[in-house]
Each structure stands twice: as structure tokens, then as C-alpha cells.
Amino acid sequence: MHIPDGFLSPQTYLPAYAAAAGAWLWAARSLRRQLDEQTVPKLAALTALAYGLGLVMLPIPGGTSGHVLGVAMLALLFGVRLAFLSYSLVLLLQSLLFGAGGITALPVNALAMGLAGAAVAVLVFRLLRRLSETLAVAGAAWCSVMLPGLIVGSVLGLQPLIAKGVDGTPLFFPFGFSIVLPAVLVPHALIGIGEAVLTLLVWRFARSRGWVAERWQAVGPARCA
């Protein structure tokens, strides 16, 4: 659901860069403590997987694209901060190397997919874990697609209201909420099912290798950020 360059007004992406800079600093605070010789190769492997998945994009109406994110698996296995930083790197490389997304849109994409996607995945997992681990993982993955989709669609739908020419013509993205939100959310509701299946497969592989027990027993379900 990358937003490309040229779709966002300076009134949007400049404050978003300020917010994203603060979020990146927050996420990096515990980086040295979180990264060790066991975590780094696991994180690198799953970040590379998320990078590859994000390149398989299908253009959809509403000014964005549809693809599996992979941020839920990063968040559930490594926490919100590392997932946010890793996915921000994924978005930066995709925008620079393949034109997927844009530099001006990077902070919105990172905050929506990297931070909000990771945070809601962990929150939903915590809420549903006692009912069913499978349900918790699947629900976390589905929500990690839908919340970013809602944010991206809302930011795009806001553009005609905040950036107009003297004749009232939108200067950037031209479609309002009534068009862009259904156009973004409906396809991503289906993509979220694929995200849930993928995340479950990764989760079960990680559990078989002992990564899940290591993650959740070490920090506990109440401190997974």
C-alpha cells in the first residue's frame, strides 16, 4: 500500500517527517540492548523476507498498491520497535531501488505500515492469545494490514481538502474519502487473509525453532514493545 511521490502535499509530509523522526529516535533507544548475535541473523532473514514480499505489488484504485506486508511477523517475533525500524529500512530501500513508494511519502508509509501495523499486531495478539494462539496470530496479521490501509486511505482522502488551487482544483491527490477508503480497504481485507496465512506459517516455523518461546518468555506478553 505504498503511497508514491507526488500524491502528498508538503502540509502532510513535512509534519509526517517530524513525527517519524521522533518515532525513529524512540525506536532506536533500545537498539543496542535488543540486538545480539542471536537476534541479528533472525531479524535480517525476516526483514529480507518482508522486503521481497513488499516488491510483489498489484496496483489498485485509490492511489496505492496492494501487497503482503510482513510487519506482523516482525512485530510478534521481535517487538514493535525493531519491527518499525526494520520495516522503515524496507520501505527506504524499496523506494530508492525500485521506485516503490516515494521519499516524500516515506514517513507516512513508515508510520502507517511500520509503526501502526506493528503496534496493532502486538495489541491484537495480546488480546486474543488466551482464546487461541492461531486466532491471535491470524487476527494480528489481518489487523496489521487493515489499520495501515485505513491510515493510508485517510491521508490520501485528506489531500483534496488541504491542498487546492485558487480555482478549488486539488493540487495533489484528487479523490476524497468516499472514493479512496473503499478502494483501499476492500482489496486489503482480502490481502489481509493472505497476510494471516503467511504469518501463521512463519510463526509455526519460528516456534519449531524455539524463537517464539524465547521472545515471549523472555520479555512477557506485557512488555513486547
Residue 90's pLDDT is: 93
- Cell 513535512 identifies what position? 14
Of the candidate CATH numbers 1.10.730.10, 1.10.1760.20, 3.30.300.30, 1.10.760.10, the domain formed by 10-219 belongs to 1.10.1760.20
Q: Check residue 108 and report its DSSP letter.
A: H
Q: Where are the domains of the chain?
A: 10-219
Q: How many residues does the chain have?
A: 225
Non-local CB neighbours of 21 within 8 Å, separated by 6+ positions: 107
Q: Which three cell numbers stand for residue 159?
A: 489531500
Residue 54's pLDDT is: 75
Residue 215's pLDDT is: 61
Residue 125 has pLDDT above 70, yes or no: yes
CB 71 within 8 A of CB 113: yes
pTM of the model: 0.88
How far separated are the first and last CA of the chain, in Å rounded?
Answer: 24
Least confident of 35-44, 56-65, 113-122, 156-165: 56-65
Could you give the CA distance from residue 121 to residue 141 in angstroms, rounded to a whole number? 6
60-70 per-position pLDDT tens digit: 655 556 677 88
Q: Which three cell numbers stand for residue 20?
A: 517519524
Residue 196 has pLDDT above 60, yes or no: yes
